[in-house]
Every structure is written in structure tokens, then in C-alpha cells.
Amino acid sequence: MASTTTTAPRWFTLGVAACAFGLGAFFVVFLRTWPPHEDETLALLIGRDSLGGLLHTVHAERGGAPLHFLVAWVVAHLGGGLTALRLVSALFAVASIPVLAMLSARLAGRHVALVAIALASASWLMLFHGVYGRMYSLFLLTSALSYLALLVAVGRSGRGRWALWALAVLAAIASHPYGALVFASQAAFVLARARTKSAWFALAAVALAATPFWLTDRVLAERLDAGAEGGDRLPVLGYLADAAGDASSGFLPVLVPILALAGLGWWRLRRPARLLVACVVVVPALLLGVARLGDAASPESRHLIFALPFFSTALAAGLIAVFRRRLLIAGALVLLLVAEVGWARDRTPALYEGESAARIEARQAASAWLARSAPSTPSSSR
């Protein structure tokens, strides 16, 4: 696994800052363009309840991601609405850029990391879910922090470092039900690489401490009827290909060479990094492949957003290995970035174009009517 020094060179720091600034500028321009979504408003409506009421709803009735709803609760009780919720989502996405850079640098070195974060920043997963006021940019940030903490703990084992990893992975588990897959992939890596008592104790402690989240996930699974008979097996290879397309560019003529480059880049990583990337992809694929999933519970590419930094790192490593010279690498990177942005626009046109004036006027009229006719909310329920 590539090692990094304590102080990053100026060019690396400037490159990371440029990616974060560019991503932030995108969010400033398009934060309000995409039409409101029912899942965003649901989070805000639940967030208007008291803290105890919110926790009861999430833990006992709805299931889902407690940390995400807690963020929505803070936004709602500070007087914020949809724009504020999306702004928080965008901030999580921008904050994930330096974390992804440090994670990628530990996996493959700074040159690869710089290309990797440029690719990750322009992906549909990053652009859309930074705007989307749900839990996915938060999930990306917390999961990346947990993988980074894991690499630190494995590289320099000690109780304090394993404690930090435990806190980080618990945050990832609290951010999204698929945090269970993050933990499973990390457990597999720990079992293969770390054989210290601190590592074993940390694994057991996380599994036990996450019990409230496992129970919340069970509520969600039961609500979605995920375990009902008649559920279909997930077409894993097709699902992974779709996720790879949304992490880069899903146009088939572009996706095929992208997958080839990512495969080559993965093979060129050092053995520990190669093992971790394999755990991130294979363990979730195996677990999803044996599950029977109903339509409501079928995963989409966003549920694997935690794999984005690993895929981008493998792709960047393959790109550098093939083109080698800086000018050629820069040219290939620009072409890939154009393909990624093109895919994002094709994937979600409304993110760039918004909705028609008629729909906006109708929604505003409906909102005004609801405000006039709905009974006032008792202060005790807020």
C-alpha cells in the first residue's frame, strides 16, 4: 500500500482544493434547479417533530438512517427548508473531497489520488447526490472516513486508532442501512490483514454497539417486505456495471474501456490495497447476490456510493499506467471528465434544466393553498 508523508506537497494540496472549489461552485449554481423530491420533504416533515418523536419514528416505525434524520431535525429546528437541507448535503459532498484524496493517496500514492478525486468529483454519484437532500453525501463522507481510519489502524495498530475506526464506522452505519455492507467489507479486510487483539476487540465492539442500528435496519426491511417469498435474486454483474457507469460514465462505448482501465489499475495496486478494493466490491456483491429482494428493496447505484473512491482510484491507476506521459494523461482525463459530465446530464436532465414554469407555478399555488387551509401545528409537537 502506497505510503504518504505527513505534509502533502503544495501541488497536491492545490489540486484537492481546486476539485473541492469546482464541486462547490457546481452546487451553488444548481442547488435549486432540480425539482423538489418527496423523500427530501419527508425528511423535513419528520424533522419537525421533537427529537424523541423523531427517534421513535425512525427506530420503531419507519426504519432508515438515524443520522440523516438527525441532520434533517437540526435543519428544520433552525428554521431551514429544502434549500438548507440541500446545502447541508452539498457541504458533506465538498467535505468528502479531501477525505477521498487522503484515502486514495494511501491506496495508490498522490499522483493517482489527484486524478482519482477529479474523476470522483465529476461523477453522477457525486454531482447528483450532493444536491439531493438525502443521506448519500453524508454516507459517502462517513464511509470514506471509516476506510481511511481502518487503513491507519491496520498500518499502525493501537487501541486509540482502532477506537477512532470504531467511531467512524458506527457513523457510516448510522448514515445509511447499507453501512452494514461497509462494515462487512472492513471486517473481511481486518480478518485477512489484522491479527491483533485490538483489531478483534474493535470488530466485536462495533458489532455490539451497532445493535440499535441493526434493529432500525430490520424495521426498514420489514416495511419494504424485503424478505418476502417471491423476491428476485439481484443480477449482481449488471448491478455492478450500472454502479460503475454512475461512478464514471454509463455510455456503453465509454464504459467498456473504463472497466478495462479500472481492472488494470486494480491489478497494479499493491497487495494490501488490492485486497481492500476487492473486499469493498466482492463482499457486498456476495451478500446482495444471496438475498431475495422485492422491487421496493432493490438496490440502486447510489447504495454503493461508498465504493466510489475505490473505483475512481483503480480507474486513475489504470489511466496513468496506460498513458504514462503527463500530457497524454491530462488529455485522457479531460475526455473522461467530459464523458462523466455528459452522462450526468443524460442521467438526470432536470438537475441542469429544472422543470417547466407551469409546474413551478402549480406547485407554488398548491403550497399557498395548503398554507391557508392546513391547521396550525401545536407547539408541543414541534
Distances from the Cα of 315 to the Cαs of 52, 181, 275, in angstroms?
A: 45, 22, 16
The answer to the question of residue 379 being in a domain is: no
Q: Please give the full DSSP string across 321-346, using - where no structure is assigned.
A: HHH-SHHHHHHHHHHHHHHHHHHHHH
Contact 116, 312 (CB under 8 A): yes
Per-residue pLDDT of the chain (382 residues; tens, 9 = 90+): 655 545 678 999 999 999 999 999 999 999 999 888 888 888 899 999 999 999 999 988 888 889 999 999 999 999 999 999 999 999 999 999 999 999 999 999 999 999 999 999 999 999 999 999 988 999 999 999 999 999 999 977 667 899 999 999 999 999 999 999 999 999 999 999 877 888 899 999 999 999 999 999 888 888 776 445 555 677 889 999 999 999 999 999 999 999 999 999 999 999 999 999 999 999 999 998 887 665 555 789 999 999 999 999 999 999 999 998 999 999 999 999 999 999 999 999 999 988 655 555 555 554 555 456 655 444 433 3
Partners of 233 in beta bridges: 292
What domain range is 186 assigned to? 12-373
Asked whether residue 381 is assigned to any structural domain, the reply reads no
Instruction: Tell me whether residue 1 is in a domain.
Output: no
Q: What is the pLDDT of residue 231?
A: 59
Residue 329: what pLDDT? 95
Q: For 375, which DSSP code?
A: P
Q: Which single residue is written with the C-alpha cell 484537492?
A: 16
CA distance 230 to 270: 43
Domain-located, residue 2: no
The Cα–Cα gap between 85 and 71 comes to 8
Distance between CA atoms of residues 262 and 283, nearest Å: 18
DSSP codes, 39-66:
HHHHHHHHHTS-HHHHHHIIIIII-S-H
Instruction: Kindly tell me the number of DSSP H helices and DSSP E strands found in the chain.
Output: 19, 2
Position 93 in a domain:
yes
Residue 369: CB atoms within 10 Å: 10
Q: How many domains does the chain have?
A: 1
Distance, in Å, from the CA atom of 261 to the CA atom of 263, rounded to the nearest integer, reads: 5
What confidence score (pLDDT) does residue 7 get? 62
Which among 211, 218, 185, 221 is positioned nearest to 299, based on CA atoms? 221
Q: Give residue 370's pLDDT.
A: 47
